């Protein structure tokens, strides 16, 4: 009902098992081939953003980076430069259910080598997404705890910012998740915060919905029951389209109810705000006419906002709606539309 995040696993997740490959990836060079090939390699190279304003790691082997390389190879220079708007920004790495320790280690090691911090998204809570496009999650509470332990072991002492379980609390508030699972979910989220916040250089932001689908009065107590007081803060607008101004207003009102906690805003696709031209129940799912939002940065418009982040990876589908592929799969034509519509 309220929005599938899209499990963004696949090639990018598998590739992380070789951290050195991830680190060099598209940014490397080759001594093979003629001058034209070397020129195209250089043209396709993906670089990091300035650390002072954007300290998060850019994955040089992500789906957008691969698309840039493909367009360069095919001499589609204009399209390549549009997708570069996505490829050269740090985006969330969604840890898969199968290899949490290896993936968390691979992403954080690659980020460390680039002198950056990894942005990780944990999206594996049991009974996830209420049977919608991104349904699934861990089989039970014990499996989830083991998965969180694996993530924590993989991160170790390396720098990471973790977005914890998009929609998990929202779906308790809106009634989407059955009552019998509520108590366990609060316990699992609280335990995850304990485990992750104990790491030396990890920041944890518990997801708190968005400006359009819940009110701070509805969600602040569930956030407390889930352990928000132990987290670094909360996240808003993950995988959604509400404007940065709307998201900050929502976050500030909510912050006042949870002890002044700081928060982060997902600005990945909110450049044109939310879509209102279709059925309200699916305006979140691959809506047309959207645009990239503010670039990721720690220099924000409000002292309570720790960062603008691209938690959702622009160009990856929300689900099988409006002609899109499965949730989390790369959709080049949609990515191009997002990029072309952005400033």
**DSSP for 229-259, written as a single string:** GGSSEEEESTT----HHHHHHHHHHHHTTTT
The runs of H, that is alpha helices, within the chain are 11-15, 19-24, 35-44, 63-73, 77-87, 100-113, 141-155, 170-173, 182-197, 216-225, 244-255, 332-341
Task: Copy the structure tokens of residue 288.
Answer: 């047309």
CA geometry: angle 7, 168, 297, nearest 5 deg: 65
Query: In whole angstroms, what separates CA 12 from the centre of its chain?
Result: 13
Q: Which of 61, 79, 232, 318 is catalytic?
A: 318
Among 65, 95, 68, residue whose Cα is nearest residue 79? 68
Annotated active-site residue 115? The verdict is: no
Q: Which of 167, 207, 232, 306 is catalytic?
A: 167
Q: Which of 61, 79, 129, 266 is catalytic?
A: 129
82 close to 336: Cβ distance less than 8 angstroms:
yes
**DSSP for 11-72, written as a single string:** HHHHHTTSHHHHHHGGG---S-S-HHHHHHHHHH---PPPTTT--BPP-TTSHHHHHHHHHH
Q: How far apart are CA 14 and CA 340, in angstroms?
A: 29
206 close to 188: Cβ distance less than 8 angstroms:
no
Annotated active-site residue 140? The verdict is: no
**Active-site residue numbers?**
129, 167, 318
């Amino acid at each position: 009902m309220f929005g599938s995040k899209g499990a963004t696993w696949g090639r990018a997740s598998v590739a992380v098992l070789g951290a050195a490959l991830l680190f060099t990836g598209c940014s490397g060079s080759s001594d093979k081939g003629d001058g034209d090939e070397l020129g195209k390699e250089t043209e396709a190279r993906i670089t990091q953003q300035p650390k002072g304003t954007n300290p998060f790691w850019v994955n040089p082997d992500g789906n957008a980076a691969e698309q840039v390389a493909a367009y360069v190879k095919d001499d589609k220079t204009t399209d390549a430069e549009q997708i570069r708007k996505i490829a050269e920004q740090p985006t969330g790495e969604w840890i898969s259910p199968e290899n949490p320790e290896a993936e968390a280690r691979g992403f954080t090691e690659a980020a460390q080598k680039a002198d950056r911090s990894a942005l990780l998204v944990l999206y594996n809570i049991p009974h996830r997404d209420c049977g919608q496009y991104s349904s699934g999650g861990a089989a039970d509470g014990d499996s989830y705890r083991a998965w969180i332990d694996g993530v924590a072991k993989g991160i170790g002492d390396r720098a990471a910012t973790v977005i914890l379980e998009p929609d998990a609390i929202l779906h308790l508030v809106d009634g989407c998740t059955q009552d019998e699972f509520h108590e366990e979910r609060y316990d699992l989220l609280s335990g995850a915060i304990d485990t992750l916040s104990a790491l030396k250089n990890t920041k944890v932001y518990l997801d708190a919905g968005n400006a359009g689908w819940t009110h701070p009065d509805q969600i602040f107590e569930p956030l407390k029951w889930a352990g928000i007081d132990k987290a670094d803060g909360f996240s808003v607008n993950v995988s959604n389209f509400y404007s940065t101004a709307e998201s900050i207003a929502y976050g500030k009102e909510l912050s006042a109810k949870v002890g002044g906690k700081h928060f982060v805003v997902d600005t990945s696709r909110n450049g044109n705000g939310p879509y209102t031209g279709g059925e309200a129940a699916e305006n979140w799912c691959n809506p047309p006419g959207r645009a990239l939002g503010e670039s990721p940065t720690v220099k924000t418009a409000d002292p309570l906002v720790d960062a603008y982040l691209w938690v959702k990876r622009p160009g990856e589908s929300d689900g099988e709606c409006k002609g899109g592929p499965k949730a989390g799969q790369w959709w080049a034509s949609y990515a191009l539309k997002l990029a072309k519509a952005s400033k």
